[in-house]
Amino acid sequence: MTNPVLKKAGQVPISDFIRYHLRVALYAAVAELNGDEDLARRLHTETKLRLISMTDEELWELAKQTSFHKRVELVYKGYKQKIEELKTTPNEWMKDLMLERTLAE
């Protein structure tokens, strides 16, 4: 059931999985801005893995949440293309999962 407040505002409710995905992507960007390169790279890699594992429905939801000025279909297709690129280059980015976690995380 759709929240009537969200419906009135024209917003779509967001699943916990997509909310978590966006939050970690934001943490990765903040870590990068703060100069914590290892943390940023590891979080970006985790984000890539989640993106690859998303169902079409989850990917569509992500596209709806991130299509600020573009059509959802274009954003969705862009994500699908990115996933195909990531699947062909895992040796370039998977190693970043091995970067050590810190106690601050």
Structural domain harbouring 91: 14-98
| Residue at 6 is within a domain | no
| Residue at 56 is within a domain | yes
| Residue at 38 is within a domain | yes
pLDDT band at 7 (very low <50, low <70, confident <90, very high): very low
| Residue at 41 is within a domain | yes
pLDDT band at 91 (very low <50, low <70, confident <90, very high): confident
| Residue at 72 is within a domain | yes
Return d(Cα 89, Cα 91) in angstroms, integer. 6
| Residue at 85 is within a domain | yes
- Per-residue pLDDT tens over the stretch 32-87: 999 999 999 999 999 999 999 999 999 999 999 999 889 999 999 999 999 999 99
**Who wins on pLDDT, 18 or 12?**
18
CA 11 to chain centre: 19
Q: State the burial class of residue 43 (Cβ atoms within 10 Å of its Cβ: 0-12, 13-18, 19+).
A: buried
* Non-local CB neighbours of 63 within 8 Å, separated by 6+ positions: 72, 73, 75, 76, 79
| Residue at 5 is within a domain | no
> How many domains does the chain divide into?
1
| Residue at 2 is within a domain | no
pLDDT band at 102 (very low <50, low <70, confident <90, very high): low
